[in-house]
């Protein structure tokens, strides 16, 4: 999809006002096709403007693919989808060199054919179904935003965002992502069931002739500008200190770790968690029209930022304690400034 229509839209001079306006505009457009899931959409937008990738975890049929595609249309970005399967090869994602003939000279030469990763928004459906080698190829591109093939390095488009999905209930024939690879996802977003009224509306709209029209409200150029604006947002010392203390409290070997962490956590969140808490708090503040992040912003982002970075112990598994429960306990245990 091109962003010509979105480029004609007026851009505000103040990034605070612009981000707040865009949040409402995108929610309005996405709401034409998606019922509910406001928090999931918000986390996706935070990932987009914070320039980080997101992992969406939810059972089949909750509209994860439709949600990602709809947001991509609302923000005027190119979109590609890859269905991960056990026989998927790295070159199926990144692209490959093929032997071709020069139409003028007739000489045979290698030509690089880009894969679906050369896009702005890449939906990696059921990422845990692909073997580790393929997962690593994708995650390396996520980290470096480059692809190497045939001894040459190719830059990926900017902005570039990977939105991966994972089914939490079906584990046969899957290759779970190692913790080091999970850590490369900025946020882990849980997609839940709709409530009764939302499900009634979903059924009514999807079984009728209703055809939602989603139009772009922001261009790729504006997104890049706002991503930079997020980095320039100042952070108060008390907010920075709280984010670091929250992440450090999740590490069982740290002196500040509560007793339940020493019991339930095998490995806590690393420094990337502290960075994520601050960066996403900045983004959330701008999305709500505020110039600086608050303690509340850090607390709101704690669950998606920490849940996939906390490795539970055998004791926690025996007691059926989840990462989300540990994060909730951390929020209660770590005092605010």
* List of E strands, 150-303: 152-155, 161-166, 187-190, 265-267
Q: Is 8 exposed, middle or buried (0-12, 13-18, 19+ CB in 10 A)?
A: exposed
Report the distance separating Cα 187 and Cα 309, nearest Å.
10
pLDDT single digits (tens) 52-92: 999 998 887 778 888 888 888 888 888 899 998 888 888 88
Report the distance separating Cα 170 and Cα 54, nearest Å.
20
Three-state DSSP class for residue 141: helix
Q: How confident is the model at residue 3, as a pLDDT?
A: 43
CA distances from 129 to 100, 133, 166, 189 (A): 33, 12, 9, 18
**Of 331, 164, 195, 163, nearest in space to 260 by CA:** 331
Chain center to CA of 192:
16
pLDDT single digits (tens) 201-256: 888 888 888 878 888 888 888 899 999 999 999 999 999 999 999 999 999 999 98
* List of E strands, 27-120: 54-57, 79-83, 95-101, 108-114
Report the distance separating Cα 321 and Cα 334, nearest Å.
19
Q: Which domains does the chain have, with CATH numbers?
A: 4-90+119-223 (3.40.50.300), 233-332 (1.10.8.80)
Three-state DSSP class for residue 104: coil
Residue position matching structure tokens 């690089």: 112
**Of 244, 251, 302, nearest in space to 275 by CA:** 244
Report the distance separating Cα 260 and Cα 248, nearest Å.
14
Report the distance separating Cα 193 and Cα 298, nearest Å.
25
Q: What is the pTM of this model?
A: 0.86
pLDDT single digits (tens) 305-330: 999 999 999 999 899 999 999 999 99
**Of 152, 160, 10, nearest in space to 72 by CA:** 160
């Amino acid at each position: 999809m091109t962003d010509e229509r979105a480029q004609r839209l007026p851009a505000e001079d103040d990034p605070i006002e612009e981000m707040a306006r865009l949040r409402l505009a995108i929610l309005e457009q996405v709401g034409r096709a998606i019922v509910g899931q406001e928090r999931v959409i918000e986390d996706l937008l935070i990932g987009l403007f914070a320039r980080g990738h997101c992992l969406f975890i939810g059972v089949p049929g909750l509209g994860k693919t439709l949600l990602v595609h709809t947001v991509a249309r609302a923000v005027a970005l190119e979109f590609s989808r890859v269905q991960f399967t056990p026989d998927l090869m790295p070159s199926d994602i990144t692209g490959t060199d093929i032997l071709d003939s020069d139409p003028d000279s007739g000489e045979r030469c290698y030509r690089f054919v880009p894969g679906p990763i050369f896009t702005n928004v890449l939906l990696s459906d059921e990422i845990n179904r692909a073997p580790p080698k393929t997962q690593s190829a994708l995650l390396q591109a996520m980290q470096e935003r480059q692809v190497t093939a045939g001894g040459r390095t190719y830059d990926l488009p900017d902005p570039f965002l990977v939105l991966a999905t994972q089914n939490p209930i079906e584990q046969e024939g899957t290759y779970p992502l190692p913790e080091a690879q999970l850590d490369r996802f900025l946020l882990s977003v849980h997609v839940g069931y709709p409530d009764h009224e939302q499900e009634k509306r979903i059924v009514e709209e999807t079984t009728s002739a209703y055809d939602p029209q989603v139009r772009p409200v922001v261009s790729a150029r504006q997104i890049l500008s706002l991503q930079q604006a997020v980095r320039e947002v100042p952070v108060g010392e008390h907010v920075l200190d709280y984010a670091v203390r929250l992440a450090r409290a999740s590490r069982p070997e740290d002196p500040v770790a509560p007793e339940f962490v020493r019991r339930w956590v095998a490995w806590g969140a690393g420094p990337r968690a502290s960075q994520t808490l601050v960066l996403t708090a900045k983004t959330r503040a701008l999305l709500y029209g505020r110039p600086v992040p608050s303690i509340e912003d850090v607390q709101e982002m704690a669950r998606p930022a920490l849940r996939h970075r906390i490795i539970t112990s055998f004791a926690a598994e025996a007691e059926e304690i989840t990462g989300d429960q540990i994060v909730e306990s951390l929020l209660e245990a770590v005092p605010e400034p």
